[in-house]
Amino acid sequence: MTAAFYKFVDLPDYADRKEKLLALCEYHHVKGLIILAQEGINSTIAGSQTAVMSILNYLKAMPELMDLEYKVSWSEKQPFYRMKVRLKKEIVTIGIPDISPIHGAGTYVPAEQWNELIQDPDVVVIDTRNDYEVELGTFEGAIDPHVKKFSDLPHWLDEQVALKGEGGRKPKVAMFCTGGIRCEKSTALMKANGFEEVYHLEGGILKYLERIPQEKSLWRGECFVFDERVSVGHGLIAGQHELCRCCRDPLQEGAKESPKFEFGVSCPRCFDRTTEDQKARARERHKQTKLAKARGEVHFGMKKFTPAK
C-alpha cells in the first residue's frame, strides 16, 4: 500500500518530531519520504496496509493533523528503497518568503467540475509541474511553462503578458499539479499578486484520474509519479514509462536507441551534464546493484544522481 499526503499547517516544533516518526516508520518497515517544515508535512510512504495505516493513525492523532487526508494506491512491489524523514524550510519549495497557503490560496475545484472550468474560454489554464512531467501528459489546452523546477515558476509568471489583463483586470486562472500541493503554493502566490479569481484542481491530477472515466476525460497522456511506477493513467493504473537510473527523470521516446543511453549510467537528458568520472562511478554502482539483486539483496547505493544544471 502506498499513501501520499500533505497538509499546510503551522508546526513550530517540526524538528522535534523527526526522530520518533523515523523510528516508528522503521519499526513498521515502512519506506518512502516524509518532509517536515514549519509550514506543514509532505509525504509518500509505502508498506503493508497495516503498517502504513499505523503511521497515518499516529499522525492523525496529533491535533494539528487530525483532518489529514491521504491518497492510496497499490503496487506489487515496494516502490521505495529506504525511509527518510527530512527537515526543510518549505514542504514544497517556491523560494518566496511569506507565501503560504495557510494564509490564503485559490478556490478548490472538485474533479467532477474541472472539465467545465478549463473549457471556459475566459480561463487561463496553467500546468505548474516541471517540464519532464508535462512531457508525459497534461490537460487539453493547458499552458506548459517549461520550467525545470517549481521555484522557476514565479519568474515565468512575472513574464507572461497574457496574465497582466486588459485594462488592469486580471484574468481567471486555473492551476493544476500532480497531487495538489504545488497548486496550493502557486495559487497563494497569485492571490498575493492581486489575482481575485484563482482556482486549482482539488486532489490534483491523481484525484482526477481516479474519479473521471477515460471517455469523459480531458487528460491526454500519462501522469508522472515520484516512485518506481514512474507514471499512471486513468484509474491510477501504472503506465509504460521507465526512469533513467542516473538522473531519475522519465526516459524520452527513443531514448534507449540513443548512443547517449547507458542503463544505470546516462540518458540523452543527462549525458552532457555528467563527467566521465561520474559515469564511471555510476557504472560501478549499477554493477553492485546487479550483484546485490542476484544475491536477493537490495543495494542501497541506488539513489538519484543530481548532475550539474
Distances from the Cα of 103 to the Cαs of 10, 91, 112, in angstroms? Answer: 10, 15, 26
pLDDT tens-place string over residues 29-38: 999 999 999 9
Question: Which of 15-24, 53-62, 220-229 shows the lowest mean pLDDT across its residues?
Answer: 220-229
Cα 267 to Cα 248: distance, rounded to the nearest angstrom: 10
Contact call for residues 282 and 246 (beta carbons, < 8 A): yes
Round to whole Å and give the CA distance between 245 and 107. Answer: 38
Q: How many CB atoms lie within 10 A of CB 76?
A: 6
Looking up cell 506548459 gives 144
Q: Which residues pair with residue 285 across a beta bridge?
A: none
Looking at residue 272, its amino acid is D
Q: Is the pLDDT reported for residue 271 higher than 70?
A: yes
* Active-site amino acid positions: 177
CA distance 275 to 272: 8
CB 88 within 8 A of CB 35: yes
> Which residues, 6 or more positions from 83, have their beta carbon under 8 angstroms from its beta carbon?
22, 25, 26, 30, 31, 32, 33, 45
Which has the minimum average pLDDT: 41-50, 144-153, 232-241? 232-241
The continuous run of DSSP H or E covering 85 comes out as strand 83-87
Q: What does the pLDDT look like over 227-260, one tens digit per residue?
A: 777 888 998 888 888 888 888 888 888 889 999 9
Domains of the chain (ranges, CATH numbers) = 2-87 (3.30.70.100), 101-221 (3.40.250.10), 242-309 (no CATH)
* Res 305 pLDDT > 50: no
Q: Which CA distances in Å does 218 have to 162, 234, 272?
A: 23, 11, 36
**% pLDDT > 70, the chain:** 95
